[in-house]
Amino acid sequence: MSRAVRFEQYGGVHVLGGVDVEPPVPGAGEVLVEVKAAAINPGEAKIREGLLHERWPAHFPSGQGSDLAGVVRQIGDGVDSVSVGDEVLGFTDDRASHADLVAVPADQLTHRPAGVPWEVAGSLFVAGTTAYAAVRAVGAKAGDTVVVSGAAGGVGSLTVQLARLAGAAVIGLASEPNHAWLQSHGVTPVTYGDGVAGRIREAAGGSVDAMIDTVGGGYVALGLELGVAPERIDTIVDFAAVARDGVKSEGTGAAASADVLAELAALIDAGRLEVPIARMYALTEVRAAFDDLAAGHTHGKIVLVL
């Protein structure tokens, strides 16, 4: 038997539990991965709570988890890109990575570089591809000033770095305890709250060219107030603003590929990109991990390690 997180109904963290399941068997084009690390993400909490039922319904009993990193233990027919014993990172679309074993299509995996720790490798998919897609969506480039809300969060902390790598000047909205980290990564920090538009204008020393919203709750409107064109605003949260204001909503789905993961992993391996890890939990502590996530103001990723 293997162990996996399951929930039988929508609800709070109390519906989550670890259960014994039959070990998955890789089909054609798939491999069986022994999971070493798998991040948790806000979208998983929203799915479990039923808040995204219309968009992404759960089918009970439901597993959860997309990000993963681990060791290949078995190979299905037709797979020649990896071998048993290879260390990999990647993703599953089956809400299944919060488990000790998962069957994954081989084309959703890439090899783990030696300089990428397990907890980082297992945290890269959702946050990394979302940040990658958002920076690409607003066309960040040299000479631009880009504002990022939630700049120290799991997605935001990668977004600001990728925007800097694209050559843009970056203003990161974050609470004061996170300002030193942002400054150390070449980002100009600005505190949230009343008067934020004025503080952004002062920090920019001119116009703002693009806005990436990882928080919701009015930051699209702030971007428009700052004079940013709708086509250069990307939100991963405020879907109502997409229809209302004509802004973009490109995230994980727009960059979900092993090639993008390999590119991001290479940047980490080269020391050019950091994935901050807030805290790590055992699989048996999955409820505590999601409680931690729900508390908010987390700098970096929360990860299940096996």
Beta partners for 181?
Answer: none
- DSSP state letter for 231: G
- Burial class of residue 192, CB neighbours in 10 A (0-12, 13-18, 19+): middle
pLDDT at 296: 80
pLDDT in tens, 275-291: 999 999 999 999 999 99
Q: 3-class DSSP state for residue 57?
A: coil
Band of residue 97 on the pLDDT scale cut at 50, 70, 90: very high
pLDDT at 9: 97
Assess whether the previous peptide bond of 61 is cis (omega < 30° from 0).
yes
Confidence (pTM): 0.95
Single-letter amino acid, residue 4: A
Is a pLDDT exceeding 80 seen at residue 65? yes
Which residue is associated with the tokens 């979208």? Answer: 43
Beta partners for 104?
Answer: 31
- Alpha-carbon distance 98 to 290, whole Å? 12
- Summarize the confidence of residues 201-225 as an average pLDDT: 95
Q: Taking a C-beta distance cutoff of 8 angstroms, is the pair 144, 169 a contact?
A: yes
When the pLDDT of each residue in the chain is averaged and rounded to a whole number, the result is 96
